[in-house]
Amino acid sequence: MGVSVLGIGVCGFTPTSTGLSYREMIAKAAKMAYSEAGITLDDIDGAVSCEEDLISGYSIADEYTPDQLGVVRKPVYTITGDFLHGLASAVMQIQTGQYDVLVVEAYSKASNILTKDEVLRFGYDPVYNRFGVSPHYLAGIEMRSFLEESGYTFADVAQVVVANRKAAVSNPLAPWGATYTLADVVESRPIATPVTELMIAKPADGAVVCVIGSDKAAASFGRKRIRIAGTGWGSGTSVLERRDHAVSLGTAIAAGMAYRDAGITKPTEQIDAFFVSDLYAHRQLMHLDALQLCGCCPATVNPNGGALGGGDLYEATGGARFYEAVCQVRGEAGACQVNAGRVLVHGWRGLPTDSCAVAILEAEGR
Amino acid sequence: MSRKVACIGVGMTRFVRRAHESPGELAAQAVEMALRDAGMSIDEIDSVCLGTAPDAFDGVHMKGEHLIAGAGGSRKPYMRHFVGGGTGVFSPIHGWMHVASGRFDTCLVVCEEKMSPCNPHPAGAFVTIFDRVTEQPLKLTLIHIFALEMRRFMHVYGYNEKEIAQVSVNHKRNALGHPAAQIAQEITVDDVMNSPVLSWPVKRLDISPTSDAAVAIVLASERVARARKPAPVWIEGVGFRLDTAYWCSRDLAYPNYVAMAAQDAYKMAGVVDPARDIDVFEPYDPFDYKALHHMNGLLLDKTGMKVKDLLFKGAFERTGSHPMCPSGGALGVGNPISATGLMKIAELYFQLSGQAGERQIQKPLRRGVTQAWGDLMQVGTVVVMGSDGAAPNTKSLWNGLKAEDLPGTAIKSVDDVPNIPDSPDLRYAWDNGVGISTYLDGLRHGRIRGSFCTRTSRMLIPPRTFSEIGNLDPVSGTFDLADTGTVMTYTVSHVDWDSSPLPKGKVNIFAVIAIDGAGDHTGLVHLLRDVDPKDVKVGMRVKAVWKKEADRTGSILDICHFVPLKGRDTPATPRRIKAPEQTVLTAGQTPGRIPLTYRYTAGVAGSRFYKDLAAGKVTASVTGDGGLMVPPAIFDEETMSMLEPGKVKPLEGGSGFIRSWTAVHEDRSGHPLDAPAVIVQVEFPGVRGSVFGRLALRDGEAPSEGYPVELVKAKATSPDQVTFRLKA
């Protein structure tokens, strides 16, 4: 069964969003998405939110999801994953044949979290891995393993930062556009060697709400509908001691699923643009390897600036990339526009995980 | 059209107050057993989904990620979902989506909850389920809102405490036949009535316990199920509904969200009359009244007459016409939240396939329904399961199973095993936004404010900028309301937010108050004072007592409390006001903090690791194929097989070498360190895995990949005590 994007809305993306509660921010994105899809609340069969308790600051954060989406008393559940995980779950839900129109939502109020590193540290295993130092330590371990195994250099990683921050200058929704040199990146403050401050995406606030629908729904609703040609998700082990930190197994599993769905055998030839998680700069290169995209044209990777330019929006990070990808496929990406008839969006849950998700989008009728 | 989906295997640990095992170990034990019951290996599992409720219990942010290995999700499509306390029954629904969609042939569904690490008490984790601005300052906890709901339920449906207590008696007795049961016992209604009052009308024996446990089931497509099991049990219908988070604006007596979820499930399953078409019921019963509350929803009976009649006739007993919670339910087996719901799914699987042993209902069973509930009393998750008449599986793993056959190790105190304390510094500054800022501005001026939704003609408290029940359209106006109202329900509480007793003689009376001019079910929760608890009544008229104007700060605590309304009772009419224009400067922030601390057991394998480390050595577990693995483990996540705890091999402490390393320049909070700390990943030749630790450097030393290192004896149980030094 085919599933399409019928409408999408965003609010943000900004370093702070003082003056708007998370509810008000999400409601703005929802109104935009519903308006674009041409639906009323009665047309919605259910919703999937993507949240983590300690990012939202609530225990059992899913309590606070239905009102601002207008889905009170509808089938609603929460995925503690990236927006792309929620999207993949919603696609499955439609493919059961019991639902036609679903909403996927994720948001970030990163600016409201005063102790971000403490929250991140709390994600590590308390018995073996929760040290009294910066939780970015694992990025240092990873990057060193990756450089040693892959043949990439420190300068290659720095170049990711330079390229993405520069691309974001042309993206009006990206808060962290900047023009840096390689030296700026290399010489920025060391956090966990070899990772420097500029190699880590900075936080941002924002909300993404997307309406997806079955073929039946797509016959009635939507503006410039986009087909979700494939989805996939996967995880490497949670045992850090037994994970190969030089590769992203989670990405490889997710890509394998999505490629099978979409009939992709040669991704560099069959896909036009790639939105790939770069929460840490070295991870973009690691993910590209796992996506079998070695040798793809650099200009086709994160043309809107990625998370390094657009911000770390926690669970909404993949959602922001998804929105950019939808704009690209529609030909509405402004100064960031590239040739994008079929695009790949990739999300990673950030440290200390290797949990990833992939979606492949293509213009209707392609 | 959905594909048919069946349950073909179940595994579970014992339900215990405090488990020695780590969360991952509990999950792995349940998974290994479920795979064994299904006759499958982990390689035959296409996908894994995990259900677990708040991160605050286990004490790990992104708990789903933490549990990947234990749940068998390494190298698989793996996803965690949750809907609070409704998670356990939503989990098979999410698993059903995986298979019914045609995406996968098999899905391993795992639910785990380890509540015991949370200090001072797992109940404390519930303080942050409430709205952070309008409710958390009142220091509510879950037991308070349960009690508020129970009182309302009693008022509307005319139950007394003794009648409700019979449910607790039945369920605890039913649990006597359940091998995983934590508090199965033979008690009387008088025992319940005489147990300590926690938050009237809730008494100790009205409540299920806090628990640690894991449950796993294997779901499969029809093709796989029929090839594997003589009596697969089918998921015939599913439903889940989530109501508004504004719980003081809801009818608390009848769970509309459960009834709607049930209707969805019944429609899918072809159930027309649930009282006639369903043979066995497993409603969620964290409190005794909840079973009846939910049965009203499951039987689609808003009058409550059917359920009352069945209860009084004894029809809910295991031998009755409508057996309810033959497992023993949360009240008898225990309540590790998400795992409880999946235990109930397992019970339907057992009952409908003739594997329930001494709990087996003796009448022919064709179809059962189970349900869970949670969040802010707002979510209903419902699954209808059915057999297809195959011969009962009387020779199963589960028939005749005893408690000692189940994994899971109860400990009396965390001090009995190696353990690790932690106090995370989790602080926030919440943007109030325009709606809540308007509310707080009103409170500062001694006014309760609401906003009006024209589309539904309802007043909304607290005010919002949009109406969640009115197509998200902007509200049509802001109003100052009366500060008087009517008590809709109340509780007389003897416990504080963290479950600790209030000082002797002190009680807190919490009430849901319908504010005058806002409708019967729109109001707020607050304290009642200056009234004898015996004199409080549903329907009582009350009035707010405000702090002095100079002391008000724009907080729900600007209302000191409510008191009985005396004298003239002429409520003020709502008065439209020009909404204060909120800007980024006036729409302020509210500080927040999660006030919890933790003590984690090191787990079975972790205890071994730290015991060895104290002696300056590392021990490797021997895996099924004779290989070695560090850190030691009780299971191998690649095969999901259990490892013999005693089958280990000591490694030469000085045989490790640096696989990777990093010099860390910031502390755990992001502040610069005086000198960088070096963290190393150390591998051992011929051994799978590695050990993470600190590297102690002497003057002039520098780390590099491949450099040999040796262990330093650890002085305490803590990752920060795992220390290596470069080998000379």
pLDDT at B524 over 70: yes
Asked if residue B677 belongs to a domain, the reply is yes
Q: How many angstroms separate the CA of residue A335 from the nearest CA in chain B?
A: 30
Interface of B with A in 571-610 (CB under 8 A): 582-584, 587, 589, 592, 594, 598, 600, 602-603, 606, 609
- Of B397, B279, B260, the C-alpha closest to B348 is B279
**What's the rounded mean pLDDT across residues A155-174?**
98
Tokens of B224: 């796989």
Q: How many angstroms separate the CA of residue B400 from the nearest CA in chain A?
A: 35
Residues contacting B96, CB < 8 A, separation 6+:
A96, B5, B219, B235, B238, B383
Asked if residue A105 belongs to a domain, the reply is yes
pLDDT at B392 over 80: no
- Measured between alpha carbons, how far is A62 from A56 in angstroms, rounded to an integer? 9
Q: Does B122 touch chain A (CB under 8 A)?
A: no
Among B67, B257, B465, beta carbon nearest to A24: B465
How big is the CA angle at A310 (ends A308 and A311), to the nearest 5 degrees?
70
Interface of B with A in 666-695 (CB under 8 A): 666-670, 673, 676-677, 679, 681, 688-692, 694
Among A75, A127, A145, beta carbon nearest to B600: A127
At residue B394, the pLDDT reads 65
Query: What percent of chain A is predicted at pLDDT more than 90?
Result: 96
Burial of B567 by CB count in 10 Å (0-12 exposed, 13-18 middle, 19+ buried)? exposed
Q: Which residue bears the tokens 């493919």?
A: A95
**What's the rounded mean pLDDT across residues A20-44?**
97
> B435 and B341 in one domain?
no
**Bond before B462 cis per omega within 30 degrees:** yes
At residue B568, the pLDDT reads 84
Asked if residue B396 belongs to a domain, the reply is no
Measured between alpha carbons, how far is residue A340 from residues A271, A324, A333, B8, B465 in Å?
A: 8, 11, 10, 45, 38
What does pLDDT average to over chain B?
A: 95
Q: Do B62 and A353 touch (CB under 8 A)?
A: yes
Asked if residue B552 belongs to a domain, the reply is yes
The lowest-confidence range among B346-360, B531-545, B567-581 is B567-581
| Chain B residues near residue A31 by CB distance under 8 angstroms | 466, 472
Residues contacting B715, CB < 8 A, separation 6+:
B614, B721
Hey, what's the torsion of the CAs at A67, A72, A78, A83, to 10 degrees?
-60
**Bond before B201 cis per omega within 30 degrees:** yes
Among B427, B659, B677, beta carbon nearest to A133: B677
Measured between alpha carbons, how far is residue B325 from residues B165, B258, B300, B311 in Å?
A: 15, 17, 18, 13
Asked if residue A73 belongs to a domain, the reply is yes
Q: Does B439 touch chain A (CB under 8 A)?
A: no
Chain A's closest residue to B722, CA to CA, is: A128
CATH number, domain of B225, equals 3.40.47.10
Among A19, A114, A136, beta carbon nearest to B584: A19
| Chain A residues near residue B722 by CB distance under 8 angstroms | 128
Q: Which of B593, B619, B644 is the last residue of a domain?
A: B593
Best A1, A77, A89, A212 member to test B by mutation, with max B CBs in 10 Å, is A77
What does pLDDT average to over chain A?
A: 97
Q: Which of B576, B593, B610 is the last residue of a domain?
A: B593
Task: Give the distance between the most distant pair of CA atoms in chain B.
Answer: 89
Q: Do B582 and A19 touch (CB under 8 A)?
A: yes
**What's the rounded mean pLDDT across residues A72-95?**
98
Structural domain boundaries enclosing A61:
3-114+203-218
- Of B258, B325, B291, B299, the C-alpha closest to B165 is B291
Chain A's closest residue to B243, CA to CA, is: A73
The lowest-confidence range among A82-96, A126-140, B179-193, B391-405 is B391-405
DSSP tag of A63 = G
Q: Do A122 and B61 touch (CB under 8 A)?
A: yes
Q: Do B83 and A30 touch (CB under 8 A)?
A: no
Q: Do A80 and B80 touch (CB under 8 A)?
A: yes
Q: Please, which pLDDT band fits residue A366 given cuts at 50, 70 and 90? A: low
Chain A's closest residue to B590, CA to CA, is: A112
* Amino acid at site A112: N
Bridge pairing between strands B78-82 and B47-51: parallel
The lowest-confidence range among A157-166, A291-300, B71-80 is A291-300
Which residues make beta-bridge pairs with A363?
A226
pLDDT at B7 over 90: yes
How many domains does chain A fold into? Answer: 1
> B205 and B112 in one domain?
yes
pLDDT at B520 over 90: no
User: How does pLDDT run across B59-83, given as a tens digit for each residue?
Assistant: 999 999 999 999 999 999 999 999 9
Asked if residue B286 belongs to a domain, the reply is yes
User: How does pLDDT run across A211-255, given as a tens digit for each residue?
Assistant: 999 999 999 999 889 999 999 999 999 999 999 999 999 999 999
Q: How many angstroms separate the CA of residue B402 from the nearest CA in chain A?
A: 32
> B282 and B174 in one domain?
yes
Asked if residue A78 belongs to a domain, the reply is yes
> B535 and B455 in one domain?
yes
- Measured between alpha carbons, how far is A205 from A29 in angstroms, rounded to an integer? 13
> B616 and B585 in one domain?
no
CATH number, domain of A71, equals 3.40.47.10
> B624 and B584 in one domain?
no
Q: Do B424 and A85 touch (CB under 8 A)?
A: no
Q: Do B60 and A126 touch (CB under 8 A)?
A: yes
Asked if residue B666 belongs to a domain, the reply is yes
**What's the rounded mean pLDDT across residues B448-469?**
93
Q: Does B20 touch chain A (CB under 8 A)?
A: no
pLDDT at A115 over 90: yes
Asked if residue B221 belongs to a domain, the reply is yes
pLDDT at A354 over 80: yes
Q: Does B101 touch chain A (CB under 8 A)?
A: yes
Q: Does B294 touch chain A (CB under 8 A)?
A: no
Q: Does B114 touch chain A (CB under 8 A)?
A: no
Q: Which residue bears the tokens 């190969």?
A: A244
User: How does pLDDT run across B127-176, given as a tens digit for each residue?
Assistant: 889 999 999 999 998 899 999 999 999 999 999 999 999 999 999 999 99
Residues contacting A320, CB < 8 A, separation 6+:
A10, A13, A173, A206, A208, A307, A310, A311, A313
Asked if residue A288 belongs to a domain, the reply is no
> B612 and B565 in one domain?
no
- Of B661, B526, B515, the C-alpha closest to A141 is B661
- Of B565, B439, B448, B568, the C-alpha closest to B515 is B448
At residue B393, the pLDDT reads 67
Among A34, A73, A353, beta carbon nearest to B260: A73
Q: Does B497 touch chain A (CB under 8 A)?
A: no
DSSP tag of B501 = B
Q: Do B431 and A19 touch (CB under 8 A)?
A: yes
Structural domain boundaries enclosing B465:
428-593
- Measured between alpha carbons, how far is A21 from A27 in angstroms, rounded to an integer? 10
pLDDT at B571 over 90: no
More confident residue, A352 or B715: A352
Strand ranges, E, within B647-697: 648-651, 656-666, 672-683, 687-689, 691-696
Q: Which of B573, B593, B613 is the last residue of a domain?
A: B593
Asked if residue B420 belongs to a domain, the reply is no
Hey, what's the torsion of the CAs at A152, A155, A160, A164, to 10 degrees?
-170
H or E, element range at B150: helix B142-157
Bridge pairing between strands B118-119 and B280-282: unpaired
At residue B470, the pLDDT reads 87
Tokens of A238: 């949670």
- Measured between alpha carbons, how far is B660 from B311 in angstroms, rounded to an integer? 65
Q: Do B96 and A128 touch (CB under 8 A)?
A: no
Phi, then psi, of B119 in degrees rounded to 5? -115, 150
> B646 and B588 in one domain?
no
DSSP tag of B53 = -
> B560 and B631 in one domain?
no
User: How does pLDDT run across B408-417, given as a tens digit for each residue?
Assistant: 999 999 999 9
Query: What percent of chain B is predicted at pLDDT more than 90?
Result: 88
Among B65, B66, B668, beta carbon nearest to A134: B668
**What's the rounded mean pLDDT across residues A146-157?**
97
At residue B652, the pLDDT reads 81
CATH number, domain of B701, equals 2.40.50.140
Asked if residue A95 belongs to a domain, the reply is yes
> B688 and B562 in one domain?
no
Alpha helices (H) along B14-80: 23-38, 55-58, 63-66
Best A1, A21, A23 member to test B by mutation, with max B CBs in 10 Å, is A21
At residue B662, the pLDDT reads 98
Contact (CB, 8 A) for B283 and A99: no
For residue B189, give the 3-state DSSP assignment.
Answer: helix
Strand ranges, E, within B305-435: 367-374, 379-386, 419-422, 427-431
Asked if residue A93 belongs to a domain, the reply is yes
**What's the rounded mean pLDDT across residues B646-658?**
89
Contact (CB, 8 A) for B67 and B319: no
> B558 and B695 in one domain?
no
Asked if residue B60 belongs to a domain, the reply is yes
Best B665, B722, B723 member to test A by mutation, with max A CBs in 10 Å, is B665
Among A59, A73, A76, beta carbon nearest to B56: A59
> B573 and B618 in one domain?
no
Chain B's closest residue to A189, CA to CA, is: B665
How many domains does chain B fold into? Answer: 3
At residue A207, the pLDDT reads 98
Bridge pairing between strands B484-493 and B508-515: antiparallel
**What's the rounded mean pLDDT across residues B264-271?**
98
Q: Does B78 touch chain A (CB under 8 A)?
A: yes
- Could you tell me how far CA A36 lies from the centroid of its own chain? 21
Q: Does B429 touch chain A (CB under 8 A)?
A: yes
Q: What is the arrangement of strands in the sheet containing B477-481, beginning at the earlier edge strand?
A: B458-460, B448-453, B477-481, B575-577
Q: What is the C-alpha radius of gyration for chain A, rounded to an integer number of angstroms?
A: 19
